[in-house]
Structures are given as structure tokens and as C-alpha cells.
Amino acid sequence: MKILGIIPARFESSRFPGKPLIDIAGKSMIQRVYEQCQKSSRLDKVIVATDDQRILDHLKTFGGQGIMTSSIHASGTDRCGEVAEHFPEFDILVNIQGDEPMIDPHQIDLLCSCYDDLNTQIATLVKLIHTNEELVNENTPKVILNKNHQAVYFSRATIPYLRGKKIDNWLSEHAFYKHIGIYAFKRQILSEITKLPVSNLEIAEGLEQLRWIENGYPIQAVITTKESQAIDTPDDLIKVLKLLKN
């Protein structure tokens, strides 16, 4: 079983234009993500999927490999689907966030371990929620798992709702999980889901993985204890620079 790590990297960003090329203590963000992915023991190859020549040219300065993809893709998943067509020898495709310069390669390995079970179609990571701030934050998608650790539902709302309990005490009453946005797909499954129309649940919550659930695709989840800092804004860059100094 061969596994390809794909890092979608768009130059345009409404909150932080050009962020794949920003300098982070002497290295660009995309270089840091790329180098972390190369430390994974489960990835056979790492490729950056971009829609901008500047990023493609920059990859050559540190020996990174990339491929130019369409500029009209609505999501990183769609961009990964295009890349998969160029690498038919790979069985599993891993969609790795291009804005997490400190991603832990062991997290990637953990995700890939889901495919030790040949029945796994889609896999992702989840993490236990420890604070009420995260519990009620609509920007932190929550997930409910069944007994087989498959995702039942994702929501920006706090789920499940604990009837008759004060929300301040919910964390002591139940284990709540948040979604960590890294995915892996079997080749055929990735091809299928990129052809699905946008679903009602996806529109309602603004979460693309609900399209897959609504169409009957099981999503295997594995619990991680780690989470890396994403860079969405210049303020996030300051946080990462502080973490690198520690």
C-alpha cells in the first residue's frame, strides 16, 4: 500500500494573502510544512498542490516537489482529487493542511494507521475537548463518534446536548471531541466524493465532510492528543513564532 501526502497551497487568502510564502524564522511556511511531512514514516511521497507559479518556483529552492492545479477548486479535497489523477500508483491520499508549519509527523502516521484496516474508506483525527471556550466556539467543529470510532455527525454547535445539565458542567459529565482537519482517502473514494453535489447538511453547517456522511460514506476517526497551531491571520504567525522560540 503506497501513501501520498498532498499539501494544498493557495496563494490567495482573504485573511492572509500569500501566506504559504511568509517567512517563519528563516523558512517559508510551505517549506516548514513540507519538511515536517517528510519526517512521517508512513508517507511514500510528499507533493504540494498549488495554483500559483510563485509557490511552484519557491519549492525548487529547497528541493520540494509540487504540481500546478486548477484555480477553480472549491476545497483542498477537490485539489487533492486532481493531484491523485497524476499519481495512479498511490493507494491512499492524505490531505495535509498547508498552514500548519509545526504539524507533528506522528499525527500523520497515526492517521495512516487507520488503513491497517482494509475496510477504511476515509479517515480523520479528533481530539478531546478540555475547555468550555472550545466547547461553545462555533469555529471549533465538534464530532460524535459511534462505538467503532466512526463519525456520526460533525457540527459547529455543541453536540451532544446534555439535557438537564448546566453547560458549565458538561465537560465533567461527558467526553466531547473536536475535529482536527486532516483527512486520508482511498483512491476510489476520493474520486467518488469529489463528484458529489453540495449537500444540504454541508450548506447548513459549512462543513464539507457532512456531504460525505449524507451520501453514506463512513469516516473513521482516530483520537490524537496533539494539535498544531494553524496560521490563518498575522496574529497566528506571532503565536507560532513564540512557540518556535520555546
Q: What is the pLDDT of residues 163-196, one digit of tens each?
A: 999 999 999 999 999 999 999 999 999 999 999 9
Q: Does 108 reside within a domain?
A: no
- The one-letter amino acid code at 90 reads F
Residue 187: its pLDDT value, please?
97
Q: Does 212 reside within a domain?
A: no
Read off the pLDDT band of 233 (50, 70, 90): confident
pLDDT of 244 strictly over 90: no
Report the distance separating Cα 133 and Cα 128, nearest Å: 13
Residues spanned by the domain of 19: 1-103+228-246
Read off the pLDDT band of 14 (50, 70, 90): low
Q: Does 156 reside within a domain?
A: no
Residue 32: its pLDDT value, please?
97
89, 96, 126: which is closest to 222 by C-alpha? 126
Residue 246: its pLDDT value, please?
72
Q: Are 119 and 16 in contact (CB under 8 A)?
A: no
How many C-beta atoms lie closer than 10 Å to residue 192's C-beta?
16
Residue 72: its pLDDT value, please?
84
pLDDT of 242 strictly over 90: no
* Mean pLDDT along residues 208-227: 96
What does pTM read for this prediction?
Answer: 0.95
Q: Does 23 reside within a domain?
A: yes
Residue 52: its pLDDT value, please?
94
Helix, strand, coil distribution of the chain in percent, nearest 5: 35, 25, 40
Q: Does 152 reside within a domain?
A: no
Q: How many residues does the chain have?
A: 246
Read off the pLDDT band of 149 (50, 70, 90): very high
The chain-wide mean pLDDT, for the chain, equals: 95
Residue 71: its pLDDT value, please?
83
- The CATH code of the domain that includes 54 is 3.90.550.10
Total domains in the chain come to 1
pLDDT of 161 strictly over 90: yes
Q: Which residues lie closer than 8 Å to 76 by C-beta, 6 or more apart? A: 8, 49, 95, 97, 98
Residue 243: its pLDDT value, please?
84
- The one-letter amino acid code at 132 reads N
Q: Does 126 reside within a domain?
A: no
Residue 15: its pLDDT value, please?
73
How many C-beta atoms lie closer than 10 Å to residue 235's C-beta?
10
Q: What percent of the chain has pLDDT over 90?
A: 85
Structure confidence by residue, pLDDT tens digits, 88-108: 999 999 999 999 999 999 999
Q: Does 131 reside within a domain?
A: no
Please tell me which residue, 128 or 226, carries the higher pLDDT value: 128
Q: Does 194 reside within a domain?
A: no
Tell me if the bond preceding 17 is cis, omega within 30° of 0.
no
pLDDT of 17 strictly over 90: no
Residue 245: its pLDDT value, please?
78
Residue 76: its pLDDT value, please?
87
Grid coordinates standing for 33? 510544512
CA 182 to chain CA centroid, Å, is 2
Regarding beta strands 45-50 and 66-68, do their DSSP bridges make them parallel or antiparallel, or are they unpaired?
Answer: parallel
- The one-letter amino acid code at 117 reads D
